[in-house]
Structure formats: C-alpha cells, structure tokens
C-alpha cells in the first residue's frame, strides 16, 4: 500500500510517532510509528506501512480520525488569503467609521459602562462567596482542574488509538451549535469543544451552588454567565470552528470580506449601532405580501389606529372581537400572511374583527402613560366598535403586554361600572410577575433609574434597546448564529416573515414604559390589587367576566407557570389552556398545519405542576377550542357588517401607523 500524508497529520500523532528529517534529495520530515514501524514522508512522496502489529488501533491512531481530513484545513493560497484579510480589515475600518461618526457629533452617547458595571458587581457577589473561604476556593479549583485532567487523559488515550476512551456523554450532548462531525473526530476541535463545555458547566455550577445570594442577584448572575458562555463559544470564532475554518481556507478568506462588508452595512443601517440582519428584509412589504387581510382604518387617536376587517361570511357573530396587541411589537404578527393569519382565520369563522394598531411613538408621546393607553387606546377602540357596528358589548383579546394592559383596563372598568367587554382572552399574558422569567434580570431600582434618565432625554425608549433585550433571552438562537452566518460565513440570511416582524421594532413612550416596569415587574402591583389607574386603586378580583387564559409551554417571556399563577387573581371563571411551543409559534399556530398540541384541565388552582400532570393533551392548534369557547358564551349571528358602518373610513388596512419604522 502506498499513500501520501500532509505534514499536519504528523502533528496529530505525537504520542506514537517520532519525526526525523528525510535523507537527500527529499529533505522533508519523516515520521515513524513505534507500534507498526510505519514511515510517513510529509513531502507527500510515499508511505509504506505494515499494519499487522497486534494491538494497534487501526488506520488513524486517533479513534474516529482520518488523517486525510486535515487537508481542508491547509492553506493553499497564502497570498490570496493575505489579500482578502486586508480587504476584510478595510471593511471593518468602514464599520468603525460608521460607529464613530454619530458619537463624534454628539448624536449618540454610549452607556456600555452601566450594564458592564452591573454584570461585574453581580458576578463579584458570586466570586466573593467562593473566595471568602479557602476550603470553598479549593473545592471550586479542584472541581475545574479535575474535569480538565479527565479530559486530557481521555484525549491522550484517544490519540494513542484507544477507541474505548471516547466519552459517550461528550458525543451525545445535544447542542445544535456543534453538529459538524469534526467537533468529535478531529482531535483539536474535540479538545476545544470539551474544554468549552467543562468551563461553561463549571461557571454555571459556581452560580448555582453559591449560597447567601438573594433570588434576584442569583437570577442575574446565572443570566450573565449564560451570556458570557454564549459569546465565548468556540463556534463563534474562525480558528476554533471547523466549518468556519474550512470555509475560510476554501475561499481564501473571501467569506470574511463579504461578512465584514455586511457588518459595515449593518452598522450604517443602525446609524452607529449594530442592527444585525436576521432576514432578507427586501423580500417583504407591509400591505403587499405581509399584513394583507382586507380591511379599513375606521378611526385614529393620538396613540392608535383602529382597523376593522372585511367580513368573509354572510353572517357574523353578534358580538364583535377587539384585539389589543402589544405595543412593544407591531400587531401584524397575527396577520403575517393568509396561511398564518389569526386575524383572517377569525374573520373566516364569522367574527367581526377590530384591531388596535399602536402608534410608533416619538418625543411628542413622552407623557403617554398607562391611563392614556387604556383611555385613548382600548377605550377609544370600544367607542369606535360601537359607532361602527351599533354593538356595545364585545369580546376582547390581549396579547402579551397588550393583555396586561387589557387586564388592568378591565379592573378599571369594573371600578367604574363599564361592562362593554363581556369576555376576555389573554395570549401569553402575565398579570402576576412573581415568576416572570429572564426579563426580570433587567428590572431593579438601579437599572430602571438609569433607563429613566435616558428616556427623559428623548421622551422614549429606542426600539433597538428592547429588541436587544429580547434577543439576549435566547442569545444562542437569536444573536450568535446570525453573527456567525452573516459576518464570518458572509451569507445573506433567508427571507422569513416572522423574523422580518421581529426586526420591525417600536419605540415606547417614557411614561408608559416606566409605569409598566415599576408597577408590574418591580412591584407586582396589579396582582396585589395595588395599581393606581385614573386615580383609582384597581383590583383584578373585581373582574368577573369569563377569561380564556392561554400560556405556551416553552415561553421565555411569559412563562406558563407565571400565567397559571396569575389566573387566580381574577374574580370570575378562568379557563387556562397550555399550548405547545413558545411565545410566538405557540400562539400563531393555524389548525391546518397540524402542529404542536394543547392541554386543558380543571380550574387553574393549586400547583402548576399538579395541573399539568392531570391535564388532557389534544393534538394540533388551540384555535378551534377557543372559538368553541366563544360560541358557548353566545353563538347568535347577524348579517355581515361593512367596515366602518356609518363612519368615514380613513385608509386601507393595515394603515399608516404600522408602517412607521423606529
């Protein structure tokens, strides 16, 4: 047998190979395996091997490693690579200029120090626990060093050809960042991968086992450790990611040139901040191929437009349906396209659908608080529904923070004797914030005060700030994969309507956002019956109307346990439903897709885990179950209604408010 081997293959067998210089005229290095007397010439001339030595691991020495597999990692065009690296640096310089420009003019000022200071202060509390006692310090060090020694021992055994040294747990660990086979087969990347998991697991354990920390500090510390671990993953760097390394070698760095060009464009698009693209936004246009359910804008206030959609059935349910979406994002998540649109589906079931489209606020709206959004938003929409249809009573839906506002408004209406909302459906809505999830990391007195100082200067919270916070909740899915694909691989993202919506961020009025953070996340006043609206102390216990309370199993924004606990705050009957998937996909789940499932059970009383154990699972979408719930309340129908009725319509749906970009 004759075979050629690159020089790099010698470096992978240091435990069993002795390297010597070949005799003239070759003058390259040669290597001899002590076990098989196999000779290898790095010059690629020839190799002769006797593989009959008993006890040798086989052809590759490192279990699962083929020496030929290193060839894609060898630079074949060093000059081309050098030129492209220079071009990539040039693009990086353009990004730096775009970042500096608004800061030199005073248009932007950075507040990097504030979150970094909070992170250092929080993690210092963890370090203080482990360093304050020499025994604990030794325990922490021993745990980390012991794990590294075990890994090193396994690696040495594998490099000597001992396939039994493979750690099954390290190969089977479910992490889609490490799907490339060279993360296991290649000794270098296998070592890097194991070292990363050991270190990140150790850091997580240090937070988990630290005693004497209050719950909020411990929660923040765990969150910050996850952010650091996600950022420092070897998948995020060219030289430690096998796929990136191979691609950079194969293209002589052209991928980095394209990636840095995209990076510079994204900094320019963000006017000095990085606005990372998650989808091809050029493929979407609001009102043309997204948010296209036919309807009219029938009314407009300072904080919202009210849209009424055209009926698609000859008769409609007597009571109209009013949807109050979150103002943190735009309403068309419920109308992405005809196949996914909850709005269109509800219209097709015979609902007369009205939707509140919130304004994308600027400095003029700085003083618009929750009372303003309750009066000029929900109250204004209820007046509009009555004028357009003649019906005083409606069924209402609130989504996320829109649901929290709707619940607070219901409590205000109960105090005032306003009975226009006869039933309420809440999509992934928290009214009790005891178990509010990772967003609580951003909420304490210091952080809110700093945010309020910034909002006073502009009158609003910039949409990018909230978008970044939401993305950080799932950084390993919503930040770093796009960083790698966009800027290191140089790949344009594919068009995806949901990610287009996700990138279409909105601003928030200063007074509104401050009220929300303080009254809900910080002080949890709504569930306690302590919230003050319109000068009145309001209580959810006074809300006696039927409530359909939808949670989603994998929700990281409104955790299902939090929604469950909040159900007990209402004074009437609550139907709690748990849907599969997360905050968006669990809600936007058309029945004809046959995806996911939902659980129903008895009243939401007692412990959440106990309710789940006895709940009935139903395959598919919860939408039909909700519609049946509505019809059980009142299924009377009337002739289909024309948008606006006697009102003069203002413009075609989806209106102008939703088109304003932050």
Give the tens place of pLDDT for each residue, 208-240.
999 999 989 999 999 999 999 999 999 999 999
Give the tens place of pLDDT for each residue, 544-594.
999 999 999 999 999 999 999 999 999 999 999 999 999 999 999 999 999
Tell whether 519 is covered by a domain.
no
Q: Which residue in 42, 304, 324, 400 is the catalytic one?
A: 400
Question: What is the mean predicted confidence (pLDDT) over 268-293?
Answer: 94
Among 429, 416, 397, residue whose Cα is nearest residue 538 = 416
* Whether residue 407 sits in one domain with residue 317: yes
* Whether residue 335 sits in one domain with residue 214: no
Among 203, 184, 91, 102, residue whose Cα is nearest residue 143 = 203
pLDDT of residue 467: 84
- Residue-number span of the structural domain to which 584 is assigned: 295-438+531-659
Local confidence band at 63 (pLDDT 50, 70, 90 cut-offs): low
Give the tens place of pLDDT for each residue, 452-500.
998 998 999 988 888 888 888 888 888 999 999 999 999 999 999 999 9
Helix axes 215-231, 187-208, angle to 10 degrees: 170
Tell whether 476 is covered by a domain.
no
Does residue 41 have an active-site annotation?
no
Handedness of CA 471, 307, 343, 294 (dihedral sign): negative
Rounded Cα–Cα distance for residues 594 and 578 (Å): 16
* Whether residue 186 sits in one domain with residue 128: yes
Question: What is the mean predicted confidence (pLDDT) over 355-363?
Answer: 97
CATH number of the domain that residue 422 is part of: 3.40.50.1820
Token pair listed for 479:
């930040």
More confidently predicted of 470 and 307: 307
52, with CB counted inside 10 A (0-12, 13-18, 19+), is exposed
652 forms beta bridges with: 296
Q: Could you report how far apart the first and last alpha carbons of the chain are, in Å?
A: 67
Q: Is 297 helix (H, G, I), strand (E, B) or coil?
A: strand
* Whether residue 206 sits in one domain with residue 86: yes
Q: Is 191 helix (H, G, I), strand (E, B) or coil?
A: helix
* Whether residue 563 sits in one domain with residue 420: yes
Q: What is the mean pLDDT of the chain?
A: 88
* Whether residue 251 sits in one domain with residue 304: no
* Whether residue 563 sits in one domain with residue 427: yes
Tell whether 11 is covered by a domain.
no
Tell whether 650 is covered by a domain.
yes
Of 270, 286, 307, which residue sits at a domain end? 270
pLDDT of residue 167: 57
Token pair listed for 408:
């607070």
Q: What is the DSSP letter of 568?
A: T
How many structural domains compose the chain? 2
Token pair listed for 265:
């464009």
* Whether residue 266 sits in one domain with residue 127: yes
Tell whether 491 is covered by a domain.
no
* Whether residue 334 sits in one domain with residue 234: no
- Cβ-proximal residues to 170 (8 Å cutoff; 6+ apart), any chain: 184, 193, 194, 197
pLDDT above 90 coverage of the chain, percent: 75
What phi and psi, each to the nearest 5 degrees, are found at residue 422?
-95, -20
* Whether residue 256 sits in one domain with residue 314: no
Question: Worst-scoring range by mean pLDDT, 67-81, 234-248, 399-413?
Answer: 67-81
Question: Worst-scoring range by mean pLDDT, 269-273, 289-293, 389-393?
Answer: 269-273
Tell whether 123 is covered by a domain.
yes
Tell whether 542 is covered by a domain.
yes
Question: Worst-scoring range by mean pLDDT, 40-44, 147-151, 623-627?
Answer: 40-44
Handedness of CA 522, 526, 528, 533 (dihedral sign): positive
Helix axes 254-269, 242-250, angle to 10 degrees: 110
Rounded Cα–Cα distance for residues 545 and 379 (Å): 17
* Whether residue 385 sits in one domain with residue 253: no
* Whether residue 629 sits in one domain with residue 550: yes
Q: Are 499 and 585 in contact (CB under 8 A)?
A: no
Tell whether 49 is covered by a domain.
no
């Amino acid at each position: 047998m004759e075979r050629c081997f690159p020089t790099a293959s010698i470096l992978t067998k240091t435990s069993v190979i002795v390297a010597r210089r070949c005799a003239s005229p070759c003058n390259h290095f040669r290597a001899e395996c002590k076990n098989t007397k196999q000779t290898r010439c790095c010059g690629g001339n020839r190799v002769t091997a006797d593989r009959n030595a008993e006890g040798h691991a086989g052809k590759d020495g490192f279990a699962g490693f083929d020496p030929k597999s290193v060839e894609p990692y060898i630079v074949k065009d060093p000059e081309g690579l050098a030129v492209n690296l220079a071009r990539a640096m040039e693009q990086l310089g353009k990004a730096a200029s775009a970042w500096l420009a608004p800061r030199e003019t005073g248009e932007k000022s950075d507040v990097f120090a504030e979150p970094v200071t909070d992170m250092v202060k929080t993690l210092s509390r963890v370090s203080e626990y482990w360093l304050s006692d020499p025994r604990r310090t030794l325990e922490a060090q021993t745990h980390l060093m012991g794990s590294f020694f075990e890994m090193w021992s396994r690696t040495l055994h594998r490099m000597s050809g001992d396939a039994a040294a493979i750690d099954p747990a390290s190969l089977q660990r479910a992490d889609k960042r490490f799907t490339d086979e060279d993360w296991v087969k290649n000794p270098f990347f296998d070592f890097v991968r194991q070292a990363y998991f050991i270190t990140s697991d150790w850091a997580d354990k240090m937070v988990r086992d630290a005693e004497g920390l209050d719950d909020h500090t411990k929660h923040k510390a765990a969150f910050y450790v996850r952010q650091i671990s996600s950022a420092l993953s070897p998948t995020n760097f060219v030289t430690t990611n096998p796929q990136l390394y191979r691609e950079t070698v194969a293209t002589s760095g052209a991928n980095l040139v394209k990636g840095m060009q995209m990076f510079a464009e994204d900094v320019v698009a963000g006017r000095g901040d990085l606005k990372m693209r998650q989808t091809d936004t050029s493929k979407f246009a609001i009102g043309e191929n997204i948010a296209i359910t036919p309807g009219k804008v029938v009314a407009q206030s300072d904080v919202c437009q009210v849209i009424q959609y055209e009926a698609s059935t000859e008769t409609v349910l007597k009571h109209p349906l009013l949807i109050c979406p979150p103002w943190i994002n735009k309403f068309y998540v419920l109308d992405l396209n005809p196949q996914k649109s909850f709005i269109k589906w509800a219209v097709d079931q015979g609902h007369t659908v009205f939707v509140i489209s919130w304004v994308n606020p600027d400095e003029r709206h700085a003083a618009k608080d929750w009372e303003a959004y309750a009066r000029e938003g929900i109250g204004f929409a209820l007046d509009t529904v009555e004028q357009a249809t003649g019906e005083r009573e409606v069924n209402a839906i609130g989504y996320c923070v829109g649901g929290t506002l709707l619940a607070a408004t219901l409590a205000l209406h109960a105090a005032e004797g306003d009975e226009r909302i006869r039933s309420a459906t809440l999509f992934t809505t928290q009214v009790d914030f005891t178990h509010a999830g990772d967003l609580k990391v951003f909420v304490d007195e210091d952080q809110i005060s700093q945010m309020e100082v910034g909002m006073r200067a502009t009158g609003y919270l910039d949409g990018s700030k909230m978008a970044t916070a939401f993305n950080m909740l799932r950084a390993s899915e919503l930040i770093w994969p796009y960083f790698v694909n966009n800027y290191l691989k140089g790949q344009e993202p594919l068009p995806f309507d949901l990610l287009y919506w996700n990138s279409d961020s909105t601003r928030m009025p200063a007074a509104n956002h401050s009220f929300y953070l303080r009254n809900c996340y910080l002080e949890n006043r709504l569930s306690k019956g302590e919230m003050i609206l319109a000068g009145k102390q309001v209580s959810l216990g006074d809300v006696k109307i039927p409530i359909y309370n939808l949670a989603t199993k994998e929700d990281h924004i409104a955790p299902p346990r939090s929604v469950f606990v909040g159900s007990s705050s209402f004074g009437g009957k609550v139907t709690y439903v748990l849907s599969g998937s997360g905050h968006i996909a669990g809600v936007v789940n058309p029945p004809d897709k046959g995806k996911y499932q939902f659980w129903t059970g008895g009243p939401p009383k007692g412990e959440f885990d106990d309710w789940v154990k006895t709940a009935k699972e139903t395959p598919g979408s919860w939408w039909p179950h909700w519609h049946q719930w509505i019809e059980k309340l009142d299924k009377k129908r009337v002739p289909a209604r024309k948008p606006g009725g006697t009102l003069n319509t203002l413009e075609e749906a989806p209106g102008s408010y939703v088109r304003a970009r932050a």
